[in-house]
Structure formats: C-alpha cells, structure tokens
Amino acid sequence: MNYFTKDTLLAAVEDRTKLFELKSGEATAIISEYGGRLLALFPRSDCYNLLWVNSNPKNIIETRKRSIGGDRYWISPERDFFYEQPETWGNWFCQSSLDPGNYEPLGNNEISCTLSNNLFIQNMRTKLGYQGEITRQFKLVKEPYKTGISYCGVEFLDDCVFYKPNLQINGWSLATIITGGPKNPGTVLIPTKSEPKPISYFNPIPSDRLKLGDKYVSFKIDVDDVYKLAIRPEDIDFTRPAKIGYALKMPDSEDYGFLTKLSDDIPKTQNECFDVARDHPDSEIGVIQSYNSESPEKPLLNFGEIELQLNQFKTIDNISHGKAKHQIFGYIATKEEILEVIKKYLGIENPFLF
C-alpha cells in the first residue's frame, strides 16, 4: 500500500529495525534507527502518515536500500557525492555509509531520541575520501503559532563532522511526501520576496506545474514526471522562519494535510552553497528545493520532496563541521483550517493549490 496509519506502519516494519515512538497527546513521531531518520509524522491517531514510506519497508531494510522514505539527512553538492561520473552527471548512486548508514541510538525518552552514524564518504570528482560522523537529535516541540488544530512538531539538531579541513559542503534535509497522484496532486508553497526567479534543476518546469503568486511560488507534486524546483537565497524572505510548506487533500478523507519546514540555518548567499543544478551547472544556485518523482509501478505511487540546503560546513580545529537546527510541523484539519495555518506560517493568503 502507499499510505500508512501508525498501526499498519508498525506491522509493515515488524522487528526489522528499532523504532522509537515520540508521543504528546494524540501526536506521534516515529524515528527509525535504520537510516537514522524521522519515518512518520501523525498529528492524530486516526490519520495517514504525512511522510511517504516505501510500500515494502521490510524488503528495503533486509536488502539495505536507502529508499525507505521519511525525512533524512544527506550532504551536498549532489554532483560531487551522488554521481559516479560527476563531470557528465553519469550514474547516480547513493553511498551506503551515508544512507542508510549504520546508525546507533545514543539515548531516548518519551519526547526525544538521538542517533549516531560513523561514515566514510568519497568525493567522486576529486576521488578523495573523508572519515566522519553524523549525530542526529530528534525532539517533539510545540507549535510556534497557536492554531487550535491537530499537529505534530519535531525539531532536528544535526551535527556532522569530517576529519578534513576546508571542505566545501553543506548539510541537506529532505522530507519525502505523499500525494494522490495526477488526480489528487499536492502543492508545495514557498514564500519569497517580490518577483522571485525560480530555478529548474533537472529539466525546464512546464508552466502548468509552476505558478508565481504574490510573494510565493506554487509547485505541483503528482509523482508523474521528474522535475526539481529551487529558490535562490536572493529570493528568500529570511525574516520568516518557515521556508517551505506542502498542502494536500488527504487520500480517503475530506481533510487536508499540511507540512512545513522551518530553519534559520540555511545558506544566505550563493557563495555559501555548492549544490549546482544539473541542467545549468554554471548558473545560479537554489537553497530551498522541491522534487517531483515519477511512478513507474502504478498504482503504487512514489514520492515528492521538500528540501532545505543547510549551513555551509566550517573548519574548527582542523575538522570540517556542519551543525544545523531545523523543524518540521505536520497538521490535519479541514481545508479552511489548513488555509489559516498556511497564512500563519507562510504569510500566504488564498494560495494557488493544484
């Protein structure tokens, strides 16, 4: 199946990996030791997971694949670390020590969990390898705006080090998101300054998938074709903590879901980010990104993504160190209530929804 309640997700994973349930009232966040990630976000006990999870998570874990879903931590630039032939963008792959890695728990309680992963990763362009460590702390947090509706919020503290100075890399936070496909697409909403200049990262984005509103951008997520959107730091309103949101009419329900990512720990200029675009690598860089995949095995549906490039690594005591704090909040409510939540977080009134 494509959508999971808490009970069906726990049954699907069984005992293949350790799961940590963080709870506050009806809200539940599930942290997976496998892949070191937030796997599920449930604002209510009776709703579907707002994050996408692979339809067969047991197989993913048993075969040690990276595509289990949830909200994960990577490093960028993608060109240097995820292509075997970076000069020609040839043979995309994911280095297994990064994802799924070998995360181990360092401690947990009812509202928090900390995981750590030792890794070795190679820059495929320079052929140099780096030994390092990622520590991820997950903690339930209260909403920054009073809404009065069901929500679940998680704060991430990501701390990554590589034992080599002066590396030009960023942290990277990526949340996989569900959709209803072409018949029930979701909408990514990114607040911006006036007259933003959205960037395509893979192929030019058709006009029927991208709308420019009054100080915001809408992007269709229907997992029916591959496109990636990015927003330049020059177009970001840094006075607003919420950097990207996602709205969707929930499958099998009249309710709507809303996800939003918040962080101040993102690049403020072009010079602080190195994740160049595949279709124009010598042009400008975007630090807030969203990905729409395709679904070759329909009716099973793949995922969309909402992503943040995180702080540039700094050299401290001869070690490249990347530390970033970011949050994700998920809501379930009526469409009218969700529109009010969007207004509070993103400052967008009457957004264009696909």
Structure confidence by residue, pLDDT tens digits, 59-84: 999 999 999 999 999 999 999 999 99
Please state whether the predicted TM-score (pTM) of the whole model is above 0.85.
Answer: yes
Among the listed residues 323, 290, 294, 284, the one whose alpha carbon sits nearest the alpha carbon of residue 307: 290
pLDDT for residue 1 is more than 90: no
pLDDT digits (tens, 9 = 90+) for 135-167: 999 999 999 999 999 999 999 999 999 999 999
Give every CB contact of residue 11 below 8 A, 6+ residues apart in sequence: none
Per the CB < 8 A criterion, the answer to whether 162 and 132 are in contact is: yes
Tell me the Cα Rg of the chain.
19
User: For the chain, what's the residue count?
Assistant: 354
What is the SS3 assignment for 108? strand
Percentage above 90 pLDDT, the chain: 99
Cα 313 from chain centre: 19
Q: What is the model's pLDDT at position 303?
A: 98
Per the CB < 8 A criterion, the answer to whether 322 and 164 are in contact is: no
pLDDT confidence band for 46 (50 / 70 / 90)? very high
What is the SS3 assignment for 88? coil
pLDDT digits (tens, 9 = 90+) for 245-270: 999 999 999 999 999 999 999 999 99
Angle at the Cα of 330 from the Cα atoms of 98 and 39, rounded to 5 degrees: 30
Domain ranges of the chain: 6-346
Among the listed residues 237, 250, 239, the one whose alpha carbon sits nearest the alpha carbon of residue 190: 237
Specify which residues 108 forms β-bridges with.
Answer: 113
Q: Residue 221 and residue 209: Cα distance in Å, rounded?
A: 8
DSSP helix, strand, coil percent of the chain (3-state; round to 5): 10, 45, 45
Q: What is the model's pLDDT at position 286?
A: 97
Q: Residue 55 and residue 241: Cα distance in Å, rounded?
A: 33
Per the CB < 8 A criterion, the answer to whether 154 and 41 are in contact is: yes
Q: What is the model's pLDDT at position 2?
A: 86
Q: Residue 6 and residue 130: Cα distance in Å, rounded?
A: 38
Residue 136's φ and ψ, nearest 5 degrees, are -125, 125
Write out the two tokens for 108: 């947990």
CATH number at 6-346:
2.70.98.10
Q: Residue 252 and residue 180: Cα distance in Å, rounded?
A: 10
